[in-house]
Amino acid sequence: MLGAKGAGPGRPKIAMFVHPKMVLQDLVGPLTVFNIMHSEIHLVWKTLDPVMSEVGIAVTPSTTLRDCPEKLDVLFAPGGLGGTLDMMDDPEVVEFFAHHGKAARYVTSDCTGSLLLGAAGLLRGYRAASHWTVRELVALMGGIPSSERVCIDRNRITGGGVTAGIDFALTLASLLRSPEEAQAYQLTIEYAPEPPFNAGRPDTAPAAITERITASRAAIVARAREKSRIAGEKLRG
């Protein structure tokens, strides 16, 4: 069980929330780095039943929301917009983040996971990154949208879309360990990206490609906007 692996003094206690329809890369990228750090890792869900990711690969939780340890070093939310929206509607999940976010040393996310942090009231007055299609929605829940690949605002550390999870994890590793150790982890996983195209951001991709992706995600982004608006209203009482 991951929760038992690496447990001990001086090892960061990391709770990584998992949920149905999450983007597997959002979890696995950071998890790989955290594992190299010899962290005490807890994969958290409502039950211990396997959770199906968006690619059809199941992830087995190591602990439940109820049994998650207190006084975490890191609280983490992955993305996967469809799953994120479901979680924003789930009072048990939102309360879990609100509770543990108060005491966690670092409150973190990758991709659309920042919307879940927002719904839990954890981004009010904080800058936060997210997937570019929904980044502006954090403002509806009191956050300040950031286009940074990794955004650090006090103890809130959020990554942009999907692949930013590795950058996020290495950044966090530099804070939990040291910049030197983080560089060692980077070399260990040979993280030296050389993408074949300069199309990873809407401002660098061809306009026709950006327009196509924007149109293809219009319906779910509209849902996300409404969920974020409702969450913001709840936070404002």
Residues recognised as catalytic: 111
Distance CA(80)–CA(113), nearest Å, equals: 7
User: Between vectors from CA 130 to CA 129 and to CA 136, what angle results, nearest 5°?
Assistant: 85
Structure tokens at 140: 């509806």
Placement of tokens 């290495």 in the chain: 170
Buried b (16+ CB within 10 A) or exposed e, 58-69: ebebbbebeebe
Distance CA(199)–CA(156), nearest Å, equals: 28
